[in-house]
């Protein structure tokens, strides 16, 4: 009875603390919005001050008006467009294509204009540009550019393009995106503070909370169009699966989101909350996904279906509820995030050592972004992480007889992750490290190893043999004039020459593959190799390094032997070779000595096993929670728990900062 009362008291305390966290976070978000609204109201400048009030034309080359505004101010400039652009002899009305505009703002006291280039997404006819609201403006210039970035220059005549009105103003009302970000950030901070002991003792729960809270803000703040790598292709597959057993019947607006078109330019995104709201409203009205006039017939490779099931379920559910197209995309993206978070949390829970390392990798800004878009990469990463967790669970408890449930989960996880991308197939062979003592009979060991080898052969045969036996005349045309026949012929005819190309490329790319922004902080078309901001990759690498050096906590009976480490290293290296070779065959023009098409995200599933080899030590400490005795080892373990907690907080902070700087501040302010 006494124990029940104590349990009830503890539960009551947890509920009270949870309520405090929620109410405090809500209160801070409300106060921030009230202060913001009060500042705008007190300025007396929120009603919109026009500096162009009648139709004004651009010249043929896109040169627009330079207007003296006499010291007006506001935190944004808005202007309405009409007419259209003549490109290559075809007239395109405003809103029928994305448009690149350059706005110059000359502040009081400055000698020169400050220029902002904004690539306006298709469908929008009103532009809103955030500016420095604390300074007064002397003059504004508006020009139209011949081609958005990433496109070849084209002949364009802008003489039929007009500005109907231009004005200064402030965004009035509550900014829901900012309020959500403030709420989630304060919520995580307070949760990690008030539940610090629980957060340290249950790292898998801590990861799941951070992943879902931060990821949800990211998903909601992303515009409902292409932002991820090849997202339109993945969205095709998701829509194809979600339409089963019937066919797709979509409108032109949705069809343009499922293909690479001028209306789906990833560089042309809403650049303010007004543009975001306008774009969402337009897509709500034009996004018919049930009875549209387009009936596309997409082909989804059967091996990739498992990776899309979570997103497809979300899209199917949203369609059944009759939600608008932006909401359909949001639910599909969120289900991908939920799948990733649950699988990764399961892997962290099962992992006997290196939990902190997996948490840090799982919270990479790039991983959170991929999970928040239509992509199969989160499924691959999560499945392979779960497979390694099960493998380590068995390897590091050598005296315990092999658990059939663990063995089944391991086999299914490795298979599911590798069947989507067979280049990771060598990782399955790490399961051959299972020691003899894990089996009660020699025949059981033989059957187990035969099963692992069979899985490997089946995966490799589905990937390598078709390409070697019957290569196509072309490869992936995005890589240029590619040819699988020519590349396979070169590899087989001059293996040493190809080996030198491969080795040189792999060595030079080590930073991009395992420590650089390419594999940690890139976020599709938002943060990539072409953008000035590469994310906070220095902080991510520092956190990753500290997690490797400081994580001494383990529930394992032993550590990996040198032979086991070598085998894992070789299998991860073999996967690297297959990644590079697949890109050489399919994406690189014949005769090229540089392998094209390789991206850092391809190596994310390999980061954990490679870094785990550095994390293994002879002396591993139990958790302070589990020891309960203040011995020297228990004191060190408690210090290790504190380190666990602090590094997790730092990883969460980097994730929140990445969401704010790369998404919320770009699209939603």
Q: What is the mean pLDDT of the chain?
A: 86
* pLDDT tens per residue across span 613-653: 887 665 555 555 444 444 555 555 556 667 778 899 999 99
For residues 581-600, average pLDDT: 83
Higher pLDDT, 664 or 3: 664
For residues 464-484, average pLDDT: 59
CB atoms within 10 A of CB 447: 12
Tell me what pLDDT residue 320 has. 93
Flag whether pLDDT at 309 surpasses 90: yes
Flag whether pLDDT at 154 surpasses 70: no
Tell me what pLDDT residue 15 has. 80
The predicted model scores a pTM of: 0.91
Lowest model confidence (mean pLDDT) among 103-117, 183-197, 413-427, 461-475: 461-475
For residues 410-425, average pLDDT: 93
Closest CA to 261 of 212, 307, 225, 237: 225
* pLDDT tens per residue across span 545-563: 999 888 777 777 788 889 9
Closest CA to 101 of 247, 302, 271, 240: 271
Higher pLDDT, 664 or 150: 664
Tell me what pLDDT residue 348 has. 96
> What domains, with CATH codes, occur in the chain?
49-169 (2.60.120), 225-334 (no CATH), 351-620 (no CATH)
Tell me what pLDDT residue 46 has. 43
Higher pLDDT, 591 or 613: 613
Higher pLDDT, 173 or 547: 547
Most confident of 4-8, 110-114, 488-492: 110-114
Closest CA to 608 of 277, 341, 344, 317: 344
Question: Which of 182-192 are b and which e, b meaning 16 or more Cβ less than 10 Å from the residue's Cβ?
Answer: bbbbbbbbbbb
Q: Which residues pair with 119 in a beta bridge?
A: 100
Flag whether pLDDT at 197 surpasses 50: yes
Tell me what pLDDT residue 279 has. 93
Tell me what pLDDT residue 493 has. 79
Tell me what pLDDT residue 236 has. 95
Contact call for residues 347 and 382 (beta carbons, < 8 A): yes
- d(Cα 426, Cα 347) in Å, to the nearest integer? 20
Collapsing DSSP to helix, strand or coil, 30 comes out as: helix
Higher pLDDT, 149 or 189: 189
Flag whether pLDDT at 475 surpasses 60: no
**Burial classification of residue 507, based on how many CB atoms lie within 10 Å of its CB (0-12 exposed, 13-18 middle, 19 or more buried):** exposed
Q: HSE on the CB side for 552, CA within 13 Å?
A: 18
What whole-number percentage of the chain has pLDDT above 90?
A: 45
Q: In which band, very low, low, confident or very high, does the pLDDT at 260 lie, cut at 50, 70 and 90?
A: confident
Contact call for residues 155 and 162 (beta carbons, < 8 A): no
Tell me what pLDDT residue 621 has. 57
Tell me what pLDDT residue 522 has. 96
For residues 81-99, average pLDDT: 88
For residues 60-88, average pLDDT: 88
* pLDDT tens per residue across span 8-61: 666 777 788 888 888 988 888 889 888 876 655 554 444 567 888 888 999 988
Higher pLDDT, 292 or 461: 292
The DSSP line for 264-310 is G-TT----SHHHHHHHHHHHHHH---SS-SB-------GGGHHHHHH
């Amino acid at each position: 009875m006494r124990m029940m009362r104590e349990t009830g008291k503890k539960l009551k305390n947890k509920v009270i603390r949870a309520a405090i966290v929620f109410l405090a976070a809500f209160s801070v978000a409300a106060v921030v919005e009230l202060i913001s609204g009060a500042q705008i109201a007190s300025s007396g400048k929120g009603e919109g001050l026009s500096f162009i009030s009648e139709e004004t034309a651009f010249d043929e080359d896109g040169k627009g008006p330079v207007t003296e505004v006499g010291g007006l101010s506001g935190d944004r400039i808005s202007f309405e467009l009409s007419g259209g652009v003549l490109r290559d002899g075809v007239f395109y009305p405003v809103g029928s294509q994305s448009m690149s505009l350059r706005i110059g703002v000359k502040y009081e006291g400055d000698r020169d204009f400050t220029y902002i280039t904004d690539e306006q997404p298709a469908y929008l006819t009103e532009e809103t540009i955030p500016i420095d609201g604390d300074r007064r403006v002397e003059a504004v210039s508006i020009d139209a550019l011949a081609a958005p970035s990433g496109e070849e220059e084209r002949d364009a005549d802008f003489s039929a393009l007009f500005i109907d009105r231009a004005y200064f103003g402030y965004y009035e009302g509550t900014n829901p995106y900012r309020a959500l970000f403030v709420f989630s950030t304060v919520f995580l901070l307070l949760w990690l503070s008030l539940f610090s002991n629980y957060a340290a003792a249950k790292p898998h729960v801590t990861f799941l909370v951070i992943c879902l809270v931060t990821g949800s803000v990211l998903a909601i703040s992303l515009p409902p169009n292409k932002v991820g790598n090849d997202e339109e292709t993945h969205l095709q597959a998701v829509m194809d699966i979600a339409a089963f057993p019937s066919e797709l019947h979509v409108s032109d607006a949705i069809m343009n989101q499922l293909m690479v078109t001028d209306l789906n330019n990833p560089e042309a995104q809403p650049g303010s909350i007004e543009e975001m709201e306008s774009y969402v409203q337009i897509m709500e009205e034009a996004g018919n996904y049930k009875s549209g006039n387009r009936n596309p017939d997409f082909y989804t490779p059967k091996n990739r279906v498992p990776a899309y099931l979570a997103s497809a379920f979300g899209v199917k559910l949203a369609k059944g509820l009759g939600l608008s197209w932006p909401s359909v995309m949001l639910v599909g993206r969120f289900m991908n995030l939920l799948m990733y978070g649950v699988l990764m949390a399961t892997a962290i829970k099962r992992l006997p050592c290196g939990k902190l390392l997996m948490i840090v990798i799982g919270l990479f800004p790039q991983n959170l972004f991929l999970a928040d878009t239509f992509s199969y990469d989160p499924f691959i990463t999560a499945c392979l992480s779960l497979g390694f967790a099960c493998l380590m669970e068995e390897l590091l408890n050598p005296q315990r007889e092999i658990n059939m449930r663990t063995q089944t989960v391991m086999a299914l996880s490795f298979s599911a992750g590798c069947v989507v991308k067979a280049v990771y197939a060598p990782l399955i062979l790490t399961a051959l490290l299972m020691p003899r003592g894990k089996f009660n009979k020699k025949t059981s060991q033989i059957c187990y190893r035969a099963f692992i080898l069979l899985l490997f052969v089946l995966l490799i045969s589905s990937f390598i043999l078709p390409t070697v036996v019957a290569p196509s005349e072309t490869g992936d045309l995005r890589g240029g004039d590619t040819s699988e026949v020519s590349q396979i012929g070169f590899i087989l005819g001059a293996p040493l020459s190809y080996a030198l190309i491969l080795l040189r490329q792999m060595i030079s790319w080590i930073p991009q593959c395992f420590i650089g922004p390419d594999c940690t902080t890139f976020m599709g078309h938002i943060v990539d190799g072409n953008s000035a901001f590469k994310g906070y990759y220095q902080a991510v690498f520092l956190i990753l390094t500290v997690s490797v050096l400081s994580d001494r906590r383990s529930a394992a009976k032993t550590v990996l032997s040198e032979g086991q480490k070598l085998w894992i290293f070789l299998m991860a290296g073999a996967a690297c070779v297959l990644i590079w070779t697949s890109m050489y065959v399919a994406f690189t023009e014949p005769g090229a000595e540089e392998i094209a098409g390789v991206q850092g995200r391809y190596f994310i599933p390999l980061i954990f096993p490679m870094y785990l080899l550095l994390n293994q030590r002879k002396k591993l400490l139990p958790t302070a929670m589990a020891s309960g005795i203040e011995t020297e080892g228990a004191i060190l373990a408690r210090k290790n728990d504190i380190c666990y907690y602090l590094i997790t907080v730092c990883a969460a902070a980097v994730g929140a900062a990445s969401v704010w700087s790369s998404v919320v501040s770009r699209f939603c302010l």
